Structure 1
Amino acid sequence: MTRLTCPYCYGRFAEKEIKFRCGGLHPIEGKPCAPGPDPVRGQVLGDTKLQLPVVEGNGKRLSARCAKCRIETTIQICPNCHSQLPVHYSKINNRMVAMIGAKFSGKSVYMTVLMHELIHRVGRRFDAAVTGADERTRKDFSNEERDLYTEGVLPGATQTAAAERGRAPFVFRVSLGEHRRFRSTLRHTVLSFFDTAGEDLESDKGVAENVRYLSCADGIIVLLDPLTVPNVMEKFGLDPSVLPQAANRADSPINILTRVTEVLQKLPGNGPNKMIDIPVAVAFSKVDALWEGLPQDSPLRQPAPGTPYFDEGDGEAIHAHVQALLYDWEGGQIDQLLTKNYRTFRYFGLSALGAVPAVRSPGQARQKVGGAIQPHRVEDPFLWLLSRLKVVTTGKD
């Protein structure tokens, strides 16, 4: 029996177990249902807002009748956390993409810029419509997008899982056109992103708090700061001031990858003699800081292809180039760890802003962007994962 995964709490359930929520419409007779406490949402998500009553029903059907007001409702909710599920959730593909990385690696900025690019430029490239799948995602993403692109300020630090119980993921719906000889159809995929705080990866306990999230991931993007790789600062003659803070040893790429790998190895189905099957995109952020030290023909400096598919040849060139750089930077331990533990992984290099942010002045609440946002290859890791998950096609020029 195929089991679904909630894009909000990552609990698993069968389609028939899906519940419904009363729509609160005016009944023909009697009074409409009134909102009240939902203990399940309070316990699982820490959400104490009043909600309309839960309606029992068979989730294989698209509606159920409220026993109190007798009104038919089509609002489906997760049986584990009572979050409203995206429309027709059980009938379409749903993918969980984990996004993790060290503190100061730029995850929150990267996620905002990535989704902005997917909604606009990359959406046109793939003939895809990308929209928020729920009201909170649409509202919060719009606020973060406005702060970054209009106000020119960077987001604040992500709260840890322990500090903010029930931190909600962003959930997006991707609709791709599929043109055949006699008809055109749409393929829908729901994507759930959870931004893991850097502090969550500084200890085994912190990583353990994200086990359920990682265990449900269909693909993982690990965002690493190349400036924390051994000898990079010296190799490129960079001033230590380009780092937001002195690098913490616990934040080093090898330590983060080791903790994540240990968590994945403990999941059901994995073992000491098995390779991890989840595809992992290892993305080095802030490569704009390295451009002056890279040759003009470096694949990392080339623009992303404009093809309506993931260009495998281009991806392989980037992967091989970053792999060679790691050994030159004395970061070969990273490659050895990935090669020995993961069946499928790929290296990427990107820049969310295209330049180093402005230095925060004393008393300034939030750091400024420092210029026009000019992202470089932010979509590559995500598109590679989508190609591995058969959401987008793969080609090779």
Structure 2
Amino acid sequence: MRTPYCPYCYHELPAQSVMYRCSGRIGRGGQRCETAIDPLLAAYTGDTTPKFPAFSARGRRRGHPACPQCGEVSFQRICGRCHNELPALFGEADTRLIALVGAKESGKTVYMTVLLHELQNRVGEQFGLSVMGADDHTKDMFQEEYEKRLYDQGVLVEATAPARADLNRRPFVFGISLTQRKWGVERLDRSLFSFFDTAGEDLRTKESVERNVRYLTAADGIVLMLDPLQMRAARSLAEPGAQLPTEPRAPDNPANVLARITELLHGALRTGRRGLIGKPIAVVFSKLDALDGTLPEDSVLLRDSPDREPLFDEADSAAVDREVRGLLAHWHGSGMETVLARNYETFRFFGVTALGSSPVRDDKGTRVSGYGVQSRRVQDPFLWLLQQFGTISKKKAQER
């Protein structure tokens, strides 16, 4: 079993590097620790709220450690590198880190919001998944600032700020529980999943991409979000009235984004001249609703994922992959398939729409259209990764 990574700072976190934070209760001798700004936590998150002191528990073999200052036992574990409080399941459940990356205006933030909403509702019910925020920041911030704004107010969440400008940007960490039957026995599997929405500007140049080295290399799987409307051939096919991204620049071109991420991973993972990148990568083309008119009536991309069984439908996913590969030829992007085949052990193409129709702009900003959120296939990349991790089983493709 590999050494787990902290789901907040993405450093390796062996058991001996886990620290504790004083509980703040009055100790046996009547003493109580004072609070102060934690400089490490502030550096990683921008959180300057006074905290009780952090302390190491090295040398203690069993039980929960006592704060060396007040003597009171603490149950609050924190990462020794960033001082974020660790989820209760850390160390007991598999910790899976999923990197969500893409160029500017590719729709990552909206996609993440809709995906997590679906996992907590319709898709979660289908697969028997229990999806809960693993910390207070995730529980409060996701619901209030992302989910409610999009679904209740119809307002699109603002684009993610670049890493250099947003100290408060933190990952969303969710605990996922799933009951599976294997060999006639039901078993409860628990996993932690960490999502970090990197800004598009962080992927425009090689230098800015390198700020995300730790995040990408720690990830178990990668979701690469690309906007076909940033490809000139596809952009010209968009339906009338579709909201188009800014005129595409070379750094935001999907092929260039894929090339920079691939170069980064090769260097960080030291794959060598002949080595392949072992992390599964889901290459997701967003905003397909703007191109619905170019698809045949029987296109698999025009219908949502099958929801009849709590299994990953391999036949359906393979059909999506084949159709997107065909579209790439029309979008003048076939070279991307070759790049993936020559550099990754496992990859798959996906096509999604998080909103179902193009958003509209008014004096209050960018809003969901009058049809509301009508997502299609947003769960496919995540379910594919879950199947790659062995979290869910797959329905095998039918013999033809």
Partner of 1:287: 288
Partner of 2:343: 341
Write the letter of the residue equivalent to 2:107.
G
Q: How much has 1:38 moved relative to structure 2?
A: 1.6
The CA distance in 2 between the partners of 1:392 and 1:283, in whole Å, is 20
Point out where structure 2 has 5 or more consecutive residues left out of the alignment.
none
Partner of 1:139: 140
Is the alpha carbon distance of 1:71 and 1:349 closer, same or farther for their aligned partners in structure 2, counting shifts above 3 Å? same
Partner of 2:37: 37
- 2:180 aligned to 170, 178, 181, which one? 178
The CA distance in 1 between the partners of 2:324 and 2:242, in whole Å, is 24
Moved more, 20-29 or 140-149: 20-29
Partner of 1:256: 257
Write the letter of the residue equivalent to 1:6.
C
The CA distance in 2 between the partners of 1:240 and 1:102, in whole Å, is 23
Q: Secondary structure at the match of 1:4?
A: coil
- 1:169 aligned to 168, 171, 175, which one? 171
Q: How much has 1:226 moved relative to structure 2?
A: 1.2
Map residues 293-332 of structure 1 onto 2, 5 A cutoff.
293-306=294-307, 307-332=309-334
Moved more, 145-154 or 63-72: 63-72
Identity between Structure 1 and Structure 2 (%): 40
Is the alpha carbon distance of 1:367 and 1:55 closer, same or farther for their aligned partners in structure 2, counting shifts above 3 Å? same
Write the letter of the residue equivalent to 1:150.
D
Partner of 2:368: 369
Is the alpha carbon distance of 1:248 and 1:29 closer, same or farther for their aligned partners in structure 2, counting shifts above 3 Å? same
Q: How much has 1:337 moved relative to structure 2?
A: 1.2
The CA distance in 2 between the partners of 1:112 and 1:161, in whole Å, is 19
Write the letter of the residue equivalent to 2:222.
I
Kindly indicate whether the alpha-carbon contact (under 8 Å) linking 1:288 and 1:355 is maintained by their aligned counterparts in 2: yes
Partner of 1:120: 121
Tell me the alpha carbon deviations over residues 288-313 of structure 1, each in whole angstroms, 9 at most, x when there is no partner.
Answer: 11112211111111220112121111
The CA distance in 2 between the partners of 1:383 and 1:312, in whole Å, is 10
Partner of 2:24: 24
Is the alpha carbon distance of 1:19 and 1:299 closer, same or farther for their aligned partners in structure 2, counting shifts above 3 Å? same
Q: Secondary structure at the match of 2:98?
A: strand
Partner of 1:395: 395
The CA distance in 2 between the partners of 1:177 and 1:62, in whole Å, is 29
Tell me the alpha carbon deviations over residues 165-209 of structure 1, each in whole angstroms, 9 at most, x when there is no partner.
Answer: 362111110011134688644211000001011111111111011
Q: Secondary structure at the match of 1:282?
A: strand
Map residues 136-215 of structure 1 onto 2, 5 A cutoff.
136-143=137-144, 144-165=146-167, 167-179=169-181, 184-215=186-217
The CA distance in 2 between the partners of 1:210 and 1:126, in whole Å, is 32
Write the letter of the residue equivalent to 2:367.
K
Count of aligned positions: 393
Tell me the alpha carbon deviations over residues 32-51 of structure 1, each in whole angstroms, 9 at most, x when there is no partner.
Answer: 22211222223444432211
Moved more, 179-188 or 117-126: 179-188
Map residues 46-61 of structure 1 onto 2, 5 A cutoff.
46-58=46-58, 61=62
Kindly indicate whether the alpha-carbon contact (under 8 Å) linking 2:21 and 2:77 is maintained by their aligned counterparts in 1: yes
Please give the TM-score of this superposition, normalised by the length of structure 1.
0.94
Please give the TM-score of this superposition, normalised by the length of structure 2.
0.93
Q: How much has 1:23 moved relative to structure 2?
A: 1.3
Tell me the alpha carbon deviations over residues 112-152 of structure 1, each in whole angstroms, 9 at most, x when there is no partner.
Answer: 00000000111111111100110001111011111000011
The CA distance in 2 between the partners of 1:242 and 1:8, in whole Å, is 34
Point out where structure 1 has 5 or more consecutive residues left out of the alignment.
none
The CA distance in 2 between the partners of 1:241 and 1:386, in whole Å, is 33
The CA distance in 1 between the partners of 2:213 and 2:330, in whole Å, is 33
Kindly indicate whether the alpha-carbon contact (under 8 Å) linking 2:231 and 2:248 is maintained by their aligned counterparts in 1: no
Is the alpha carbon distance of 1:195 and 1:262 closer, same or farther for their aligned partners in structure 2, counting shifts above 3 Å? same
Kindly indicate whether the alpha-carbon contact (under 8 Å) linking 1:233 and 1:239 is maintained by their aligned counterparts in 2: no
Tell me the alpha carbon deviations over residues 285-338 of structure 1, each in whole angstroms, 9 at most, x when there is no partner.
Answer: 111111122111111112201121211111111101111111132211111111
Partner of 2:386: 386
The CA distance in 2 between the partners of 1:61 and 1:45, in whole Å, is 31
Is the alpha carbon distance of 1:291 and 1:110 closer, same or farther for their aligned partners in structure 2, counting shifts above 3 Å? same
Kindly indicate whether the alpha-carbon contact (under 8 Å) linking 1:55 and 1:65 is maintained by their aligned counterparts in 2: no
RMSD: 1.9
Is the alpha carbon distance of 1:61 and 1:219 closer, same or farther for their aligned partners in structure 2, counting shifts above 3 Å? farther
Kindly indicate whether the alpha-carbon contact (under 8 Å) linking 1:230 and 1:331 is maintained by their aligned counterparts in 2: no
